[in-house]
Structure 1
């Protein structure tokens, strides 16, 4: 899992990249929670998602948004962070140019950024959005959502309450041409404390089903 430094719109970005063994393996990008509330690429959920994709043969990149760790720049309320994520995906694609498709996984603030990125990148085949903060950020840009994916959250989440995520899921489910799956982790708070294993099991099961529906990696 080599450490990587690549250029972003606000300066250098620090990341961790797991190359794929197969030239045409897919790419996964994993996005961390809110930078101003302790979110980093070493968040436990982000770390576990990274390895979930790596175990399935993906080329995987996780990175620190601007102003976090050794990434240069300062917090930009989402706009700059979206540019960081786009630069990260560009870098991963340049490192792994024969990838057949891409996935994006994001946690909390990272889920909001990830879903904006997939609106701009037609090569994104699927997404996993963990605890998307639909009460704090506007998700109306998903009109329509261009890819099928999983939205998963805890039922005792006080930061991004279930009712707001449910409204988002219900809206997306009315769209034709995509399939939005929803999972609710019983007893889990926003950070999935003591429920990380269940969260990753649900995400793994969903990813395996999606991968089984296409030709093998």
Structure 2
């Protein structure tokens, strides 16, 4: 997979870019968990989400937030990381200016950043939020949530209590015009350790494939 370096708000950002040969393929970016707790673009969930989108025919970019790996800058409490994500999407769109579909996927801290990006970029048509942390991060900005998407978490998540995720989903369900699909995987923890990784990724692929089929009818 090609390594890429692209400009971010605080210097260079390091990424992995997987283009499709098909002209005007849909695009997706994948956002990693908290940098100060070991989160990188090579996290297993992020890596598997990346390849899930690639196998579905998407051109995909994942990258390291500022201060992680070879990305320049320092951790910025989510504010700078949102700017990094916007720069990554700018870069991806510049390489694929005619893509008709744009998705964002995030895991844990990355899910929070992804949902904020969703609010700022109307071209995003779908999202995947894996193990969001509404107990730790404020999701009240989703008023209203501008696109339909999938929220997926484990039933024994000890990092982000499932009850808080359910409350977030129920709040989003009250909004008209969008559909929030929620899957709680029985027995899975925050990181979807084996044997839960493959079923989680299968659920994501099934959801995205279904959405893409609906939009091409």
Q: TM-score range by the shorter chain?
A: over 0.9
Partner of 1:169: 169
Partner of 1:110: 110
Partner of 2:197: 196
User: 1:106-145 counterparts in 2 under 5 A?
Assistant: 106-145=106-145
SS at match of 2:207: helix
Partner of 1:101: 101
Q: Pairwise CA RMSD of aligned residues?
A: 0.8
Q: Deviations over 1:14-51 (max 9, x none)?
A: 00000121221111000000000011000111111111
Which stretches of structure 1, 4 residues or longer, exceed 2 Å deviation after superposition? none
SS at match of 2:92: helix
Partner of 1:30: 30
State the alpha-carbon separation in 2 of the partners of residues 73 and 138 from structure 1.
24
Contact kept? 2:56, 2:205, Cα under 8 Å: no
State the alpha-carbon separation in 2 of the partners of residues 83 and 30 from structure 1.
14
Number of aligned residues:
216
Partner of 1:208: 209
Contact kept? 1:103, 1:126, Cα under 8 Å: yes
Gaps of 5+ in 1: none
The TM-score with structure 1 as length reference comes to 0.98
Q: Deviations over 1:61-118 (max 9, x none)?
A: 0000000000000100000000000000000000111111200000000000000000
Gaps of 5+ in 2: none
